[in-house]
């Protein structure tokens, strides 16, 4: 169950969409949001917000432009877009970490390794 990847968009849609993340029972999780087609620092991508803090931003493929693949927007960093994490809040609490892991589709250990290698950038997102 990956509530971030299961969103389908028509090519003509050009508005940001915000949804609560969902739990195992399918109910919305309060204060945990994913924003699709968000524009952040001049790039379009997916943004994860926990409570009032931006935690992570994943740019879409090809320098921030949204692309379509089989009727879905594609999240990718293969054209130089780097995943951004907030330097102060990326690991703020257990709850934030749980939903950040789901958003990034990886464990905290994998995220930390990508930070250490420079693959992910820690910056001030708030």
C-alpha distances in Å from residue 15, one per residue of 12, 22, 44, 73, 123: 9, 21, 11, 13, 26
How far is CA 111 from its chain centroid?
Answer: 13
Residue 63 has pLDDT above 60, yes or no: no
Residue 81 has pLDDT above 70, yes or no: no
Q: Provide the whole-model pTM.
A: 0.75
Using alpha carbons, select from 110, 2, 114, 116 the residue that is nearest to residue 48: 2
Partners of 73 in the β-ladder: 68
- Give domain limits for the chain: 17-123
At residue 65, the pLDDT reads: 42
- The CA-based angle 52-54-60, given to 5 degrees, is 145
pLDDT band at 111 (very low <50, low <70, confident <90, very high): very high
């Amino acid at each position: 169950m990956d509530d971030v990847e299961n969103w389908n968009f028509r090519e003509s849609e050009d508005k940001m969409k915000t949804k609560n993340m969902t739990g195992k029972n399918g109910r919305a999780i309060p204060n945990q949001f994913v924003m699709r087609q968000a524009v952040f620092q001049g790039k379009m991508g997916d943004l994860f917000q926990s409570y009032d803090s931006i935690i992570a931003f994943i740019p879409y493929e090809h320098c921030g432009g949204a692309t379509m693949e089989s009727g879905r927007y594609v999240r990718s960093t293969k054209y130089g877009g780097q995943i951004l994490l907030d330097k102060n809040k990326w690991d703020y609490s257990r709850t934030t970490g749980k939903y950040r892991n789901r958003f990034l589709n990886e464990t905290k250990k994998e995220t930390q390794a990508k930070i250490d290698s420079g693959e992910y950038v820690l910056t001030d997102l708030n």
